[in-house]
Amino acid sequence: MNIILQWIDMIWLVLIPLVAHPHQRKIAVATFLACALMMRMQVELIDSTGFDTGFLPFMKSTAMERGMVVYNFFYMLYTLFAFHLPRSKPAVFMGASITIFFIAFTSSMFIMVL
């Protein structure tokens, strides 16, 4: 069961190409894969320090659980964004994707450290 919970966010890999418009699919899938890889690298970084529940004892959940919650929230926002902006220019969509990637990264790192 633990292996399923570690990879449950891959459901978005199927959902995002279905929701995104044809000219946005490659960027959307690349953004998702970058976010999924970054989340796992953040979890490994925090686990390697020996503080698997974060540096501060505010929450009892593990860094992986907190990362999943934060990144899934941003996946949902990104999917809604891609669906509701079908006529956005590729450069604008790429800029928005990079922005969402960095916002998800910084907010998840903050939540994982707590």
Tens of pLDDT, residues 74-86: 999 999 999 998 8
Quick one: 22 exposed, middle or buried, by C-beta within 10 A (0-12, 13-18, 19+)?
Answer: exposed
Q: Which residue, 24, 40, 50, 17, is CA-closest to 105? A: 40
Residue ranges of the chain with per-residue pLDDT less than 50 = none
Number of domains in the chain: 1
Each as own residue / partner, the long-range contacts of residues 21-26 (CB below 8 Å, 24 or more positions apart, any chain) are 21/82, 21/83, 21/86, 23/90, 24/82, 24/86, 24/88, 24/90, 24/93
Region label for 56, one of left (φ > 0), alpha (ψ between -120 and 50) or beta (otherwise):
beta
Judge whether 10 lies within some domain: no
pLDDT at position 108, please? 95
Is 5 within the bounds of a domain?
no
Residue 77's domain comprises 30-113
Is 3 a member of any domain?
A: no
CA 48 to chain centre: 21
Record the pTM: 0.89
Asked, for residue 9, whether it belongs to a domain, the answer is no
- What confidence score (pLDDT) does residue 1 get? 58
